[in-house]
Amino acid sequence: MRLDQQRLVITGAAGGIGRATARRAVAEGAQVLLTDREAEPLERVCVELGEAAQWLAGDLLEPAFCDSLAEQAASRLNGLDGVINNAGIITRGNVLATRDADWRASFAINVDAVFRICRSAIAWLTTQRQAGVIVNVASCWGLYPGPDHLAYCTTKAAVAAMTRCLGRDHAPDRIRVNAVAPNEVDTPMLRSGFEIRGLNVDTAVSELDASVPLGRIATPDDIADVIVFLCSDQSRYVCGSVIEVNGAKPVG
Ligand code: NAD
């Protein structure tokens, strides 16, 4: 198994990509601490995954929660080998439609929380383990902005840049920091966006499928498999990379 006995913490683990990643990681032998805002959906995932999975509810808007997450994970999992920073929010709007509150919340969850969790995890990993992995979930829209999502695209560009910086700075500590950059993935985040706009969700997803050269948008498992690869020794020479996972969808 590719993640045999790896102890990983996964944020946003009750959502589409997070849940798929938790399932894949446990199937590959990992012990996971799953975190998200609400306890109840996390409990359900843990019941499904059995004793390899534990949960911890918390709000990434709280700096103290982010700062303590690596320590809490290490204490619950009896050590820590890596972190998957998957949680995120998407806010729609061009600059004129972006309120201060949207901008602040987007940065707080998509960037500040990732920064704080990486900082505390790298402090723990360098002193206690002298190795480790971090996988951040960026977005193709952070590399090639999509329309009308200024705050989201800007935060995901920051995640990509942060990943490259951390990968470079901490390669000598044997901590590999990488990111995945998906394009559209069929998750609650994508579907709720269509609902908010009053669109027929299945029709909108079919239209998006047709825009992808591989013939469909991604499933959460398509992304989870790449995250698991980045946590595993199979990616031992991949460091500071942002891997586009987009079915060859053209940019722009
Ligand atoms: P999702 O909405 O299904 O899951 C996101 C999870 O993050 C949710 O469970 C949510 O509760 C959690 N979260 C949000 N704010 C939080 C907070 N303050 N505290 C704790 N948890 C919080 O979305 P998803 O599509 O699975 O997204 C996962 C990641 O993938 C995100 O970073 C997203 O930006 C990225 N992504 C998604 C797509 C897509 O098309 N779905 C494309 C590119 C990148």
Asked if residue 8 lies in contact with residue 82, where contact means CB atoms within 8 angstroms, the answer is yes
What predicted TM-score, i.e. pTM, was given to this entire model?
Answer: 0.98
Of 17, 149, 217, best ligand 1 pocket probe by most atoms within 8 Å of the beta carbon:
17
**Which residues, 6+ apart, have CB-to-CB distance to 117 below 8 Å?**
11, 66, 69, 70, 83, 85
Q: What residues act catalytically?
A: 152
Sheet hosting strand 7-11, strand order edge to edge? 53-57, 31-36, 7-11, 82-85, 132-137, 175-182, 242-245
Output the CA–CA distances (angstroms, integers) from residue 93 to 147, 193, 216, 245, in the order listed: 8, 12, 25, 24
**Which structure tokens are listed for 63?**
């700096």
Query: pLDDT (tens digit, 9 = 90+) per residue, 89-146?
Result: 999 999 999 999 999 999 999 999 999 999 999 999 999 989 999 999 999 999 999 9
- Compute the distance from residue 163 Cα to the ligand 1 centre, in Å: 18
b/e for 224-251, b at 16 or more Cβ within 10 A?
bbbbbbbbbeebeeebbbbbbbbbebee
Cβ of 16 below 6 Å from ligand 1: yes
Q: What does the pLDDT read at residue 220?
A: 98
Residue nearest to atom 4 of ligand 1 (CA): 15
Whether 203 shows a pLDDT value over 70: the answer reads yes
- Compute the distance from residue 220 Cα to the ligand 1 centre, in Å: 11
Report the alpha-carbon distance of residue 15 to residue 87 in Å, rounded. Answer: 8
Using the structure block, give the residue that is written with the tokens 């704080």. Answer: 116
The string of DSSP letters for 207-235 reads HHHHTSTTSSPBPHHHHHHHHHHHHSGGG
Is residue 250 very low, low, confident or very high in pLDDT (cuts 50, 70, 90)?
Answer: confident
- Compute the distance from residue 157 Cα to the ligand 1 centre, in Å: 16
Cβ of 142 below 6 Å from ligand 1: no
Cβ of 150 below 6 Å from ligand 1: no
